Structure 1
Amino acid sequence: MEHLRFKLKNEFHEKGRACGETPDSEKRLGRQLVRTKELRADALKEIEQLKADNAALACPLHQVVQGNRQLRLQLTERPQPPRPAKAAEATSTARAPGDKL
């Protein structure tokens, strides 16, 4: 039964093609194929643009990373100045155990 259905369907489409008419299913597939090709072309353009943007941003980022690395090295190599003793604060805050505020 199923085989008969396919046979009749194919005969119907062959008669349509003989008259110069394209079946609706083929028209739909053709439109879908065109749309898919357009989407693929757009996606490829976007990928190329993203690759170009990536390359353009990689160089400045590398420069910033290198600059940060150099600044960190300078900070670690620089001797730290001695901190001044806070004598005035130490004497004013030092209290005897029995003193009240």
Structure 2
Amino acid sequence: MATVERTAYPRFPKVLASRDPQVCYTPMPDELEWARRSTRGERPRLGLLVLLKVFQQMHHFPALDSIPVAVVEHVRTVANIGPVVQFGYDTQTSLTLFRH
């Protein structure tokens, strides 16, 4: 039987290996430039990059609260986005999540 990580709708493993974020979730320079041109601020840029890299690995969009903090922090570091910027979307007043 296949592991949960290898099914049709994979989930994140309970423990993320320390090298997984570097290997699987590092945005390429052209992706960083595309996200910079496509967003109007650091919070949407962080969200867009995290969703892009997660989709590339999992082939679907998981719930935002299921994305490991290690993945978000790795993307934040590579994209040079400060720690003050929160990951997430305000779905009550903005449609940004649905555009991304």
Q: Give your verdict on TM over 0.5.
A: no
TM-score (norm 1): 0.17
Higher Rg of the two aligned structures = 1
**Per chain length, whose mean CA-contact separation is higher, i.e. which structure has more relative contact order (CA < 8 Å, sep 6+)?**
2
